Structure 1
Amino acid sequence: MTARILLTSAAALALTACNQAPSDVSSGVLDPALAEVAAPDMPQADRQLLWGDTHVHTINSVDAFSSGLANADIDSAYRFARGMPVIFPRTGQRVQIDRPLDFVVIADHAVSLGISSRIARNDPSIMQYPIARRLRELFETEGGRALTTAGMGGSNLTEEELAAFNRDMRSDEVLAGSWQGQIDAAERHNRPGTFTALIGWEWTFAPNLRNMHRVVFTNVDGDQAGQFLPLANYQTDGPEDLYAFFEETRARTGADFVAIPHNSNLSEGRMFELVDKNGDAFDAAYAQTRAAWEPVVEITQYKGSSETHPALSSNDEFADFELRNMLLTGVPTDPLGGSYVRSALLMGMAEEQRIGANPFRYGIIGASDSHTGFSSQLENNFLGKLGEDYLPADRLGDNKVPIIFPAAQMSASGLAGVWADHNDRQSLFDAFRRREVFGTSGPRMSVRLFAGYDFAAGDQDRRDFASHGYRLGVPMGGVLAPSNGRAPRLMIQAVKDPEAGNLDRVQVVKGWVDARGRTHEKIFNVAWSGGRSMRADGSLPAVGNTVDLTTARYTNTIGAAELATVWTDPEFDPSMRTFYYVRVLEIPTPRHHLFDALALGIDPATIDIVPTIQERAWSSPVWYTP
């Protein structure tokens, strides 16, 4: 085992500033047939690590308005992300993010976009419609939830009112007014070089309440974004319609798009099923198109982790992490491979072996899916998913709101780490497109991964770590060609969040497809803290636990500030398609509900949730293709 713990050094400084090269799809060119053959370019300078959230909702989302005016408006959401103090609308309390984000996507739902908030403020451009005035009456007499019910399908509307809603509230004129409001807000807050407001929305497709949502963002500025309207779920009957919209819109306006599948754990296997909307098996053209438009996937968020499940990964001791295996209604479902990212990565390679193209060549990010308007990932200061579950008593006490996803069960997660040339729309878009991204469950730990054939022991300590990685290999998200049967070598560095827990270990998750098309996976511990010795079966003793359950405090007296290694797969078979991604685990720290329980005088042992959490990061994979 060649791993070693790094001390704070020039190598650490190189890590925090190092950069990655474009891999297989250059910006502005999205020919799926060319997606895996474009030659990577060396970066011109060290790239920077940027932190952001691609999945924040404001009161302009119809479901967020179920809390009435308890959640933030779009300007407050941007100001919070930029680091400014803002007011939490429900309580009037001042709140502020611990550290500003570098970028954000305000991903309000395209369905009924902005209708509720415009009606609530008596926007004359929408109140000219009689149905809008009827909806205003609902809001005044029955509250925000009644307005949301009408905006999400109208079960509280008469047949005549529903027809008027569909005709007027879903008209291009009304949608254009709401969309322009989203664009104008992004333009007000966009600060190239300092803070990037990516323009986007959420396509909220959920047949039979099986979650198949995608967050969408574009690379263009406001003038160009104003030349199209966001596609809503009611205008489509499958993701193929979304891809067709992208193709048509790009050809007409020049705008380009990234789509991000989210919450696959709530899809009951639908997110990554191996048939199209007509029930037909994938062909190469479909696989190429899907992979081109969906370069990354959301692996964690408030509604749980979508990496894997113990029923699918029985030999993964850390598979049981923030699980929510259910429908959008909260009804539990069986754990199916089509609901989880690791299974999708495996199935994608099997499909590539069958048809010659991989539909699920996903990079990995984390995001929040916050509906408060505030991107909140701190366990010790979690702001909740909705304004109505913001206070500790709302989440655990006698006043807790009976909702589908109880707030104590929510995850204070996650974030996207992006290695980009600059902090601007096009540079971030390019980084997502080439999959040079990683996700975390909240902490801002830095993760680097390069794969090649010529890395040597000790290279992880080089001052020119990143440039060396680009010269000899590919970064996370890249694809390796064969090299005379040699096994790939992974050069890995991980640095702790300076304001969070130390690191427990670094693992490599390997997946492969054998000659008969069967998929396999294995977890390798490749670097770890302390004086632990690897057991014969490849496992490690636990790192320990310093959390005091009576005070919700811990100490960083265990674990490491940095871990790094050059690792070679000891079981490599050059004939088999393979992926590798890195998973970095922190030492145990207090989970957010422990803080609430102690504040309310509740015994944490009476709550059926583990009071500690091992926060983690997941790199995008690298793929070996025979």
Structure 2
Amino acid sequence: MKIMKTKNTRVGKRHGLAITLTALCSYGLSAHSSAEEGTQLLWGDTHLHTSFSPDAYFLGNRSVDPHGAYRYAQGLPIVNAATGARVRIDRPLDFLLIADHAEMMGVPYRLFRGDPELAGTKTGQRFIKMVKEGRGADVFAEFLGNINAKRATPEFNSDRIRRSIWQETTSLADQYYQPGKFTTLVGWEWTSTPGGRNLHRVVMSSSSGKQASEFIPFSALDDETPEGLWQWLGKTSEQYQTDFISIPHNSNISGGLMFDVVDSDGRPLTADYARSRMRWEPVVEATQIKGDSETHPLLSPSDEFADFETYRHLLSVSAEGLAPVNAGDYIRSALLRGLSFEQSLGVNPYKFALIGSSDAHTGQGAAEEHNFAGKVSIYGKPESYDRPVSSTNTTTVSGWDFSASGLAAVWAKDNTREEIFAAFKRKEVYATTGTRIALRVFAGWDFRNRDRKSKDIAALGYRKGIPMGGDLSAAPVGKSPALLIQAVRDPEGAKLDRLQVVKGYIDDNGKPQEEIYNVAVSSERKIDPQGQTTAVTNTVDTRTASYQNNVGADEFLVLWEDPDFKPQQRAFYYVRVLEIPTPRHTLMDAVAMAKPHPASPASVIQERAYSSPIWYTP
């Protein structure tokens, strides 16, 4: 895939107008809940691990099980597995999917608590003896090594054991479900990692816990190919009258496999493959603890914000070192590839929405910089978190390399399993890196500047256009797509720096291209005729790990029309909103320990939100 040139918009009346508002309601948008369209903004995490995940258990989380994870997400205090201290999330979540690994789910947790069915096996007795001898690390290496090598331990992987643990998981999901107040989504993680390259998926079920208990979660020990997973999802959905969504994550360390140009057998993609993928994978996790997967500087060299929370360490501890940068690893490149495939196959295999989630293995969501509990429990304290987690001949992974990210934002009609699942299916969701920026995006052909003054942006947007995740086609003669965008700052977070529109398209020569338009900027800055602007003031005090929230905007309200639209060109558009600079969790650690912050990773972060795309198909 070619390295693509990025440019910014020119300024003019038809290229969009931004205004900044300071008089906001307590949460931000009056359009969060509209009587006419009836959607509300919900915040959640669809990728949280508890002590039922084998790696979480071995890496220090012996106590925060699904009970603790659900309680923490609802705002109740729990005991941190690493420190023994009482901890509490600042702002409760609206929904949670506990995504413990399907591979040996709950086995270490039960084994080392003396479950007779596991402890009485030959392997179980040997593992218990090794732990008593202080060889727990050897047990972990053998246990995870067998999973990664697809060597299932028969004594631990019988249907009886798998079903028993899964039924406990699903029963707890129903126990903590409070429709209208707190939604527990039923799911798990399918953990395929060929050669250390991440192909993981979080599987979300539309079922209740009781209904889901009738089947056993599909694992990478059953089949390590995505095609095998999709086939199982098809059979199971028919057999049990349910539905599923498979959510790819950490594409940034997939070694080019996540959004490849061939299937798992190395064959060129077909229309059937594309249809199957889009049937099961309408949503992708764009940001989480193991970094941000929007794009990379080598793929988007003119994007000044492309080098953000970049994490490239493969999951295998080997001499391979840093994962090479590949277009198959990143969201923006995949969206561009999707346009090309749609042109050649008639179907787009990469027509997905975006969310964020945590992938925390502590049982505590990890999206708050100041309240970051770490990736795993043994590295959840500042004095240990700046030490290497693992190293190879060429690279070292520190706990500080991990990101305090992210969140899934959902525009749903109600806080229930049915409505949240429906919002995922129609792609009316978006990603943030942990901030709670409220973001609305609508596209249409008939928006006017006066629409920005509507008392109910959402109602007007639904009536005259389509929301994020939707499709435009058949451009009326002489018209260009217009985006009606409203972004409101997190009421408990930082103000906004800028709002950008990212466009991908297929040019007249059949080549994928990208453009980035600065559409709105804060603090009385201007966008020059070349589409450039100055950087927002950085108010972070590195001595105190604090910042002044006295620059930036409270809200952007924009009507933007594509100035370079060509009716015959396939395209997608998504919105990126950046906050002003704030302290990263590592800076807080360094100040707490009275130590200098290292040169890498960054000590300052610009949190952001990514809308799901809107596509234009001629």
3-state SS in 1 of match to 2:383: helix
Q: CA deviation at 1:187?
A: 1.4
Q: CA deviation at 1:152?
A: 2.1
Which residue of the other structure, out of 422, 434, 455, is the alignment partner of 2:426?
Answer: 434
If the length of structure 2 is used for normalisation, what is the TM-score?
0.93
Asked whether 1:264 is paired with 2:251, we answer yes
Which residue of the other structure, out of 556, 563, 576, is the alignment partner of 1:563?
Answer: 556
Matches within 5 A, 1:374-413: 374-396=364-386, 402=390, 405-413=397-405
Q: For the residues of structure 2 that align with 1:10 and 1:442, how far apart are their CA atoms?
A: 21
3-state SS in 1 of match to 2:574: strand
Q: For the residues of structure 1 that align with 2:581 and 2:416, how far apart are their CA atoms?
A: 35
Q: For the residues of structure 2 that align with 1:478 and 1:339, how far apart are their CA atoms?
A: 24
Matching residue of 2:488: 495
Asked whether 1:614 is paired with 2:606, we answer yes
Matching residue of 1:6: 21
508-517 or 440-449, which moves further after superposition?
A: 508-517
Asked whether 1:311 is paired with 2:303, we answer no
- Report the residue type matching 2:377 in the other structure: G
Check whether the contact 2:28–2:438 (CA below 8 A) recurs between aligned residues: no
Q: For the residues of structure 2 that align with 1:171 and 1:481, how far apart are their CA atoms?
A: 51
Which residue of the other structure, out of 167, 174, 178, is the alignment partner of 2:154?
Answer: 167
Which residue of the other structure, out of 76, 86, 97, is the alignment partner of 1:105?
Answer: 97
Check whether the contact 1:200–1:218 (CA below 8 A) recurs between aligned residues: yes
Matching residue of 2:12: none
Q: CA deviation at 1:144?
A: 4.5
Which residue of the other structure, out of 297, 316, 319, is the alignment partner of 2:284?
Answer: 297
Cα–Cα, structure 1 residues 86 and 17, in superposed 2: closer, same or farther, change >3 Å? same
Q: For the residues of structure 2 that align with 1:167 and 1:549, how far apart are their CA atoms?
A: 53
- Report the residue type matching 1:96 in the other structure: R
3-state SS in 1 of match to 2:447: coil
- Report the residue type matching 2:330 in the other structure: Y
Q: For the residues of structure 2 that align with 1:220 and 1:45, how far apart are their CA atoms?
A: 26
Q: CA deviation at 1:8?
A: 2.2
Matches within 5 A, 1:210-609: 210-329=197-316, 331-396=321-386, 402=390, 405-485=397-477, 486-604=479-597, 606-609=598-601
Q: CA deviation at 1:556?
A: 1.1
Q: For the residues of structure 1 that align with 2:181 and 2:501, how far apart are their CA atoms?
A: 33
Q: For the residues of structure 2 that align with 1:232 and 1:405, how far apart are their CA atoms?
A: 27
Q: Deviations over 1:274-301 (max 9, x none)?
A: 1111211111111011012001111111
Q: CA deviation at 1:238?
A: 1.0
Q: CA deviation at 1:364?
A: 0.3
Q: CA deviation at 1:190?
A: 1.0
Q: CA deviation at 1:68?
A: 4.1
Cα–Cα, structure 1 residues 131 and 270, in superposed 2: closer, same or farther, change >3 Å? same
Which residue of the other structure, out of 38, 48, 63, is the alignment partner of 1:46?
Answer: 38
Q: Deviations over 1:284-342 (max 9, x none)?
A: 11101101200111111111000000100011110010001231136212211000000
Q: For the residues of structure 2 that align with 1:66 and 1:167, how far apart are their CA atoms?
A: 20
If the length of structure 1 is used for normalisation, what is the TM-score?
0.92
Check whether the contact 1:451–1:474 (CA below 8 A) recurs between aligned residues: yes
Asked whether 1:77 is paired with 2:69, we answer yes
Cα–Cα, structure 1 residues 499 and 11, in superposed 2: closer, same or farther, change >3 Å? closer
3-state SS in 2 of match to 1:549: coil
Q: For the residues of structure 1 that align with 2:100 and 2:81, how far apart are their CA atoms?
A: 18
Q: CA deviation at 1:570?
A: 0.3
Q: For the residues of structure 1 that align with 2:21 and 2:180, how far apart are their CA atoms?
A: 31
> What is the number of equivalent residue pairs in this alignment?
595
Q: For the residues of structure 1 that align with 2:507 and 2:63, how far apart are their CA atoms?
A: 50
Q: For the residues of structure 2 that align with 1:402 and 1:357, how far apart are their CA atoms?
A: 42
Which residue of the other structure, out of 161, 164, 167, is the alignment partner of 1:177?
Answer: 164
Cα–Cα, structure 1 residues 620 and 579, in superposed 2: closer, same or farther, change >3 Å? same
Q: Deviations over 1:575-613 (max 9, x none)?
A: 011000000000000111111111111122x44222111
Q: CA deviation at 1:72?
A: 1.7
CA RMSD of aligned residues (A): 2.0
Q: Deviations over 1:418-441 (max 9, x none)?
A: 000111111110001111001001
Q: CA deviation at 1:618?
A: 0.1
Check whether the contact 2:259–2:329 (CA below 8 A) recurs between aligned residues: yes
Q: CA deviation at 1:151?
A: 2.7
3-state SS in 1 of match to 2:246: strand
Q: For the residues of structure 2 that align with 1:475 and 1:549, how far apart are their CA atoms?
A: 40
Q: CA deviation at 1:449?
A: 0.2
Check whether the contact 2:112–2:119 (CA below 8 A) recurs between aligned residues: no
Matching residue of 1:17: 32
Check whether the contact 1:56–1:373 (CA below 8 A) recurs between aligned residues: yes
3-state SS in 1 of match to 2:69: helix
Q: For the residues of structure 1 that align with 2:84 and 2:497, how far apart are their CA atoms?
A: 39
- Report the residue type matching 2:365 in the other structure: S
Matching residue of 1:35: none
- Report the residue type matching 1:318 in the other structure: F
3-state SS in 2 of match to 1:598: helix
Check whether the contact 2:188–2:204 (CA below 8 A) recurs between aligned residues: yes
Check whether the contact 2:62–2:109 (CA below 8 A) recurs between aligned residues: no
Cα–Cα, structure 1 residues 437 and 74, in superposed 2: closer, same or farther, change >3 Å? same
Q: For the residues of structure 1 that align with 2:341 and 2:86, how far apart are their CA atoms?
A: 51
Q: For the residues of structure 1 that align with 2:353 and 2:46, how far apart are their CA atoms?
A: 14
Cα–Cα, structure 1 residues 346 and 18, in superposed 2: closer, same or farther, change >3 Å? farther
Check whether the contact 1:68–1:143 (CA below 8 A) recurs between aligned residues: no
Q: CA deviation at 1:494?
A: 0.3
- Report the residue type matching 1:255 in the other structure: T
Cα–Cα, structure 1 residues 11 and 354, in superposed 2: closer, same or farther, change >3 Å? farther
Check whether the contact 2:503–2:515 (CA below 8 A) recurs between aligned residues: yes
Q: Percent of pairs identical after alignment?
A: 45
512-521 or 271-280, which moves further after superposition?
A: 512-521
- Report the residue type matching 2:42 in the other structure: L
Check whether the contact 1:450–1:476 (CA below 8 A) recurs between aligned residues: yes
Matching residue of 1:198: 185
3-state SS in 2 of match to 1:152: helix
593-602 or 580-589, which moves further after superposition?
A: 593-602
Cα–Cα, structure 1 residues 89 and 325, in superposed 2: closer, same or farther, change >3 Å? closer
3-state SS in 1 of match to 2:503: strand
What residue ranges of structure 2 are gaps of 5+ in the alignment?
1-15
Cα–Cα, structure 1 residues 559 and 69, in superposed 2: closer, same or farther, change >3 Å? closer
Cα–Cα, structure 1 residues 155 and 337, in superposed 2: closer, same or farther, change >3 Å? closer
Q: For the residues of structure 2 that align with 1:179 and 1:133, how far apart are their CA atoms?
A: 23
Q: CA deviation at 1:406?
A: 1.3
Q: For the residues of structure 2 that align with 1:548 and 1:468, how far apart are their CA atoms?
A: 42
Q: For the residues of structure 1 that align with 2:135 and 2:425, how far apart are their CA atoms?
A: 42
3-state SS in 1 of match to 2:154: helix
Check whether the contact 1:301–1:367 (CA below 8 A) recurs between aligned residues: yes
3-state SS in 2 of match to 1:343: helix
3-state SS in 1 of match to 2:45: strand
